[in-house]
Structure 1
Amino acid sequence: MSDAVWALTLCLAAVAALLVLRRRTPIAFWWLVGFPIVALRVLATYRATMDACGLTVPASAVRRATARLVGREAAPVPPHRSLPRPTGSGLVMKLRMATGQAPEDFFASADRLRHAWAAHAVHIRPTRPGWLELRLIGWDVLADVRRPRRKPDGGGLLSLPLALRDDGRWHVRDFRTVPHELILGATQSGKSVYLRNLLCGLARQPVVLVGIDCKWGVELAPFAPRLSALADTPDRANALLDALLDEMEARFRLIGMTSVLGADAVLTSDGGDCRTAIVRCRSWSSWTRWPNSSSRRTGTTRSAGMPWSPSSSA
């Protein structure tokens, strides 16, 4: 067999191995093949791409004067960047915006940057004044979800990492920052899976869980042993909400009569004398209809900070 045939056979075997690697372990394929190619493309075309997307600024007076001395024209200046750093789903660069630029300029050009660098997506996020994080995604991480080996810590009470985002990072749900939530989506969009993950995470924390599922508990019945109360009909849901409101008003009234807090004090739901109650409402549309609305609400979340007293039940 001639050397040319051997070389062709080895090339075909290498291509087949890369195709199998890309299908079986896309992260390994990205680190070995995808990242070097995309990083070189970004570095080689960075200035031209930024100029074509309108993300450059005129050169300074010193640069223009220096260019005139050598008989050249000063080129526009792109944002200063760091070297590309690989991630499990793409690469990350830090950009320093020039004077007069705003994050909105980069948000508007994200799709053009994606096409210019042949990436699946480009996400821009401000990190601090004057600095941006450009995250380039190499492939659709949600088409074939690969669970990361390490799951980040939730960050404390009422903070839970629940799902992977389309930029390859974890979505962390923090009830202390945003205590209320409304979950909407079409059929098979992942609402029930999201709720199950949320309930499983909250079940490990010292919080009161109350469920409302007006489809006779078909969604929340598996969590009944952990729930303090579960309403599975509209009448029971109304009665449960009335009881929760009465209890909350009574405890707030008790705090108002016995509190020694100052005028600048803030009541929080995660303090030492408060216990948080999470109310999960499933299939709101089967319970009631919102007035003056023709669309259906398929899920809603209510959260309330409820003061805790030793005589009250959990």
Structure 2
Amino acid sequence: MCFTAIVGGANADVNETLLLEQALAQFGFSETTLTVDDHELTYYYSARTDRPRNLVLFIQGTDPFPLFFYELTDSGPNFFTAFPDDAAHLSDDYAYVVVAKPALSGIRQWQHFEVPQAYHDANYRQRRISDIRAVITHLKRRRLSEGGDIVVYGHSEGAQVGASLARVDSRITHLGFWSGNVLNNFYEFALFERLAALNGQQSDTQAHQNIMGLLEWYRSVVDDPQSTEVDEWGYTNRRWASYRHAPIDDLLALDIPIYAQFASEDDSTPIETAYLLPVQFITAGKDNLNFQVCLGCDHSYQEVIDGDLRDHWSEIFEDFVDWVEAH
């Protein structure tokens, strides 16, 4: 997860409508709420010109976070975003959009908000896909010029959503699949257990017992896939079950250009399964995959060098945009 922070003015009034207006103004976004079917969805839009040709749409990862946060200090509110400052790296030909997760639009106080049950009820892959498709339709009708690219990139869980979205929506022209799991979540959880045993962090027996427990958990998810009871990880069967299929299947079904980014020190997505992607694309005779690994980097592409933290996200995004324009 990436945060961007800007220190606001002296107004410390806890009026979240006003605070959201201030945050949107400082980060250069506008808020739009749409009614689709039986629910509302909200997206945040940034562009330097009217009706730009191209769209870059970012899909958040797993954490149940709103897109904007504030902290109250003696000198005024500090504002944060739960998404990277990638819009600043785009030319005037692009609009940049992030779609809020269900029931998490607006702004919340950092470390002082509760995740609503409405979020858990609506947090599943198909809902996120349908919301993003509705936003793209609205943008093409109201805010974008004709003939441009529709670029979608997602990080972590957002990568899985993006792959499934691109498979069902032919308007997507380019896909960024960043640090998403390649295989089923529960298989990759099991792989981490085996790696922990291989690295001497636990016994072989303990790893096996943990994996058998994971399999029992997975069976309970599949047996009750619509449950919205929140588990100890903070998610629901409905959420887990919606991601049961392997994202590699979606990726192999695509013919559009794919920029797959991974990190060698990722403790959320095992790099060991990432290499299956280029192997399977080569096997299938497909050449639409650009496979990249940030060596020494964690899940958010940060690297520790001589005790200092170096963030590679922006340079990766800039390379991604250059790649989009070349394809």
What's the TM-score, normalizing by structure 2? 0.24
Structure whose alpha-carbon radius of gyration is higher: 1
Output the TM-score relative to the length of structure 1. Answer: 0.25
Q: Which has the higher contact order (CA 8 A, sep 6+)?
A: 2
